[in-house]
Amino acid sequence: MNNLFFIILLLTFPVMLYFCIRGLISFIKKNKPHGKKMLKFLGATFGVTVVSFIVFAATIGPVEKVEAKPANAKSKIEDVIVPEKETEPEITEEEKAEVAKKEEVKEEEKAALELKAKEAEEKVAAELKAKEEALMAESEKKKAEEKAATKVKAKEETLKTEVPKKENGRDLTLTKTVKSIVKEDFNKVATSKVLVNDNMESDTENNFIVLPHLKWDVKNGAKSTREMLEMYSDHLAAKLADESDVKEITIFWEVPYHLDGENIAKYMYERSGNGMAKVDVWLAPLIRE
C-alpha cells in the first residue's frame, strides 16, 4: 500500500508544475477564467500530494531484522509434495476416424447450402432478365405498331393531295423552279419528285397546285427536325408565291433517320394576296412534341 501512495506522490509533482505553468501563461495572456481554472486544478493536485505524503509516512513501519537460519535447519520446501502431472488419454484411431467423418459431413452440408443459395440467386436473376426481355419486346412491338401506323397515315395523306394532272408545259417549268430553290437554298435536301396538278376546285385556267416531295437526310432530334422542316417549307412557299398561277402548295417531307421510305411531315399553303398562308400541318407521331 505504501508503494502506491509513494507513486502517487511522485506523479503529483509534474502535474502541479504543469498546472502552475498553464495558469501563469493564462494570466499573462489576460485569460483570467482559464487561469483561475488552472489554479483550482493546482490546488486540488497539491491537496492530493499532501494526503499522499501523510499516508505514505504513516504506513512506513520499522525495518524487520532478518535472522540467519542454522545450517542444519531443514527447508520447508522438502515437505511440499509436488503432484504428478496428469497424462492426457490417447485418442484411438476409431475416434480420429469418427471426428474426420463428422467434419466431412459438415463440409458436405455447407457445400449443399452454398449450392442452394447459388441456385436461388440464379433463379432470381433469370426471372429479372425474363421480365426485362418481356418489357423490351413489348416496347419494340409498340414502336413497330406506331411505325406501321405512321406509314399508313403517310400514305393516306399523300393520296389525299395527289390528283391526276394534265400534261402541260407549265408543270415542267414549276418543277425546275422547285428543284432550283432546293439546290441553291437548302442544305442536305434532295428532291424526290414534284407534282404539278390543276386546281379542280377552280373554274379559271392557269390555277395550279404544286406538291414537292423532299428528303432531308440529317440525323437530328425530333424538335430540331420539326424546326428545320418548317423553316424550309416556309422558305419554299415564299419563293413559289412569286409564281402567280400557283394557288396551293403541299410539301411532303421524308426524313430517313426517323422513318425511312415514308413521309414524316406535310405542310399546306394557300395563296393569300401576293404571298402564301400556312393552312395545315401534319406531323408523324415520331416527331411530335
Cβ atoms 179, 212 nearer than 8 A: no
Residue 120, CB half-sphere, CA atoms under 13 Å: how many? 6
- Tens digits of residue pLDDT in 3-20: 666 677 677 778 778 878
**Residue 106 above 90 pLDDT?**
no
> By CB neighbour count within 10 A (0-12 exposed, 13-18 middle, 19+ buried), where does 41 fall?
middle
* Entry pTM: 0.45
Tell me if residue 47 falls in helix, strand or coil.
helix
178 CB-contact burial (10 Å; exposed 0-12 / middle 13-18 / buried 19+): buried
Q: In terms of pLDDT, which residue wins out, 280 or 80?
A: 280
Mean predicted confidence (pLDDT) in 204-232: 92
Between CA 16 and CA 20, with CA 18 as vertex, the angle to 5 degrees is 70
Instruction: For residue 163, name the pLDDT band (cuts at 50, 70, 90).
Output: very low
Q: CA 172, 174, 176: angle at the middle one, nearest 5?
A: 70
Amino acid code (one letter) for 16:
M
157-287 CATH pick, 3.10.310, 3.10.420, 3.40.1130, 2.60.40: 3.10.310
Q: Cα separation of 267 and 284, whole Å? A: 12
Helices vs strands, H then E, count in the chain: 5, 5
Element (H, E) at 61: none
pLDDT for residue 91 is more than 80? no
Task: Grade residue 195 by pLDDT with cuts at 50, 70 and 90.
Answer: very high
Q: Give the per-residue pLDDT at 24.
A: 80
pLDDT in tens, 223-246: 999 999 999 999 999 999 999 899
Distance set, CA 192 to CA 95, 126, 195 (Å): 94, 49, 10
CA distance 148 to 261: 12
User: From CA 2, how far away is CA 135, in angstroms rounded?
Assistant: 85
- The answer to whether residues 254 and 262 touch, using CB atoms and an 8 Å cutoff, is yes
